[in-house]
Structure 1
Amino acid sequence: MVTLLLDTSQLEVVLSPLEQAAAFYRDNLRVDRDHITKVQLTEEPWTWLRGVASPGTHIKGLFAAGTWETATSRDFVLVRRRRPAVVIDLEGSDYARLLLGTRHGLALAQALRLDVSAEPTDVTEIAATGAIPVTPDAGGPSRNRGKAKPTLKPA
């Protein structure tokens, strides 16, 4: 699982040595915050893969790491098994999209909305300490939404 660091100017994806080797990427991945256009959370990262690994490592359903290329775009991918992931759409960057397996996707989405320090900080720490605006009943799952409460009738 990757570590996500955020500061005022960039998002840094910290890769372990094993992840760097599998992704054929020599350093951590850095993306300017200005290039991030959308962040989405997914429980099924494998459905988001597009193109072919070039260069990269792909063991179907188990592990995918590296650059995925299509005829028109490039994505950076790092996902494992059936773990949740975050999909980050980019504009004006080397990659069109980042697909990263992490349990901290929600913390990243929240941290991107906050003012952060100039020092890179883990997104989970930012989200835990920041005052994150929360909209009550923002469309989250509810079993009885829009339904009348059942009433019991005597037999």
Structure 2
Amino acid sequence: MVTLLLDQHQLEIVLTRTERLLARQRGGLRFSRAEIARLQLTDEPVTWLRGVRAPGVHVPRLVSLGTWRSAQGDDFVAVRHGRPGVVIDLEGHERFSRLILSTRHGSALAKALRLETGQAEA
């Protein structure tokens, strides 16, 4: 669904033109590695949705894409239902408190974050 790029300083979420349109994002999203507090692997990322969609798109049993707002903060969501993914908790980011993403490379992302930052959570 989305492309995740990780380097020593940041995690970047690259969206296609269609994904940007549906999520109402002007471009990709960048997050400093220092803002990543925790990463959890999940078989059903859609179960982690909280709050209400604003703005974005939600097609039941197919796709959820955009911003979900709740009392705990705003979440960026890019999920294809029925596919594995990751839930990334953020601390100190100006806009989002959590990322919920479908990806086949969740375990590789968790290993890369742990090896390069010394974090033991995955």
The equivalent of 2:57 in structure 1 is 57
The equivalent of 1:97 in structure 2 is 98
Q: Is the 8 A contact 2:44 2:81 kept in 1?
A: no
Query: Structure 1 unaligned runs (5+)?
Result: 117-155
Higher percent of residues as strand: 2
| 1:23 positional shift | 0.6
| 1:39 positional shift | 0.4
- 1:10-25 counterparts in 2 under 5 A? 10-25=10-25
DSSP 3-state at the match of 1:26: coil
Choose 1 or 2 for highest CA Rg.
1
Q: What TM-score, normalized by structure 2, do the two folds share?
A: 0.90
Distance in 2 (CA, whole Å) between partners of 1:60 and 1:109 is 28
Alignment partner of 1:112 is 2:92? no
DSSP 3-state at the match of 1:103: coil
Distance in 2 (CA, whole Å) between partners of 1:60 and 1:11 is 28
Q: Is the 8 A contact 2:4 2:14 kept in 1?
A: yes
DSSP 3-state at the match of 2:114: coil
The equivalent of 1:148 in structure 2 is none
Q: Is the 8 A contact 2:11 2:31 kept in 1?
A: yes
Distance in 1 (CA, whole Å) between partners of 2:72 and 2:87 is 18
Q: Is the 8 A contact 1:46 1:61 kept in 2?
A: no
Distance in 2 (CA, whole Å) between partners of 1:89 and 1:75 is 9
The equivalent of 1:70 in structure 2 is 70
Q: Is the 8 A contact 2:4 2:11 kept in 1?
A: yes
| 1:114 positional shift | 3.1
**Aligned residue pairs: how many?**
116
Query: Structure 1 counterpart of 2:102, which letter?
Result: G
Alignment partner of 1:35 is 2:45? no
Identity of aligned residues (%): 57
Q: Deviations over 1:76-98 (max 9, x none)?
A: 00001201110000000121100
Q: Is the 8 A contact 1:84 1:103 kept in 2?
A: yes
| 1:113 positional shift | 2.2
Query: Structure 2 unaligned runs (5+)?
Result: 118-122
Q: What TM-score, normalized by structure 1, do the two folds share?
A: 0.72
| 1:44 positional shift | 1.1
